[in-house]
Amino acid sequence: MSSSILVFGASGQLGQCLAHVAAERNMTGRLVMLAEEQANILNPEGLRAAFAQYQPQYCINCAAYTAVDKAEDEVDIARRVNRDGVENLARLCAEFGTTLLHVSTDFVFAGAGNQPLLETDETVPISAYGLTKLEGEQVIAAHTDKYFILRTSWLYSEFAGNFVKTMLRFGRERAEMRVIWDQAGTPTYAIDLAAVLLHIIETESPNYGLYHYSNEGVTSWYDFAVAIFELAGLLTRVVPIRTAEYPTRATRPAYSVLDKTKAKNQLGISIPHWRLSLQECMRRLAG
């Protein structure tokens, strides 16, 4: 087997972050970055050709259907990507002896509690997106033993579209923003998540399984927006509102803070606070 790492969904936010971190770590030569048009996870024949060509030691799946509200009306499409496509990868990983690294979500939880969520806590998705992502986790566990699933939350970076970049754009256009304050969670800098994925590979960790990963700390979308505007030097007024005042097609977890104890202990990682990572992202965005 070669030491190559197949990356699917390479053109998305996390894929771009992986390419960036790999360049910093001199790992670019190991990564085979495959965008959707090059290797679609819904095309088993194309996937098999890629596995046969590269004989990868690792496979990182960054491909996902992530349009949370749209998924309520496109459940079948979301399921094809988030479950069926993932199953295609899991089967091939098992066949080729490849270790699969896959990213899941805090949306697998109902979010009705007020304690940080463990990997062993009951999963009760309350949205089509959350349900299809949970089904993706289940098909991985059903088809291969060599996997790392990392559930994450509130992902952002200097790449692609995300909450931070949206707030910066609106903050320059508007004098006031209304932002939800009664949903609690933790932002995750996708650069940090990419670094953890590559750390698992670099250390050849044998501790397969399901993990939680976000940055440290707890906040609301309101406080997150305030921090973004403060760091950007924007004077935009932020008005806290309840979830009920901003209805969306999909229901979001009210509390989805992830407990990272297992990841810190089993993977040997340290996790920066969300404010520190936000500062780093803002520094990079500023040029």
Handedness of CA 48, 144, 80, 210 (dihedral sign): negative
The number of residues making up the chain comes to 287
From the list 54, 58, 65, 129, the catalytic residue is 129
Residue 194, CA distances (Å) to 54, 60, 73, 201, 210 in order: 21, 10, 30, 11, 16
Place of tokens 């349900």: 131
Q: Is the Cβ–Cβ distance between 188 and 214 less than 8 Å?
A: yes
**Environment class of 181 (CB within 10 Å of its CB; exposed 0-12, middle 13-18, buried 19+):** buried
Is 129 an annotated catalytic residue? Answer: yes
Place of tokens 């949370």: 68
Q: Which residues contact 233 (CB under 8 A, 6 or more apart)?
A: none
Handedness of CA 211, 213, 216, 222 (dihedral sign): negative
What is the maximal distance between C-alpha atoms in the chain? Answer: 57
Backbone angles phi, psi at 130, to 5 degrees: -60, -40
Positions marked catalytic: 129
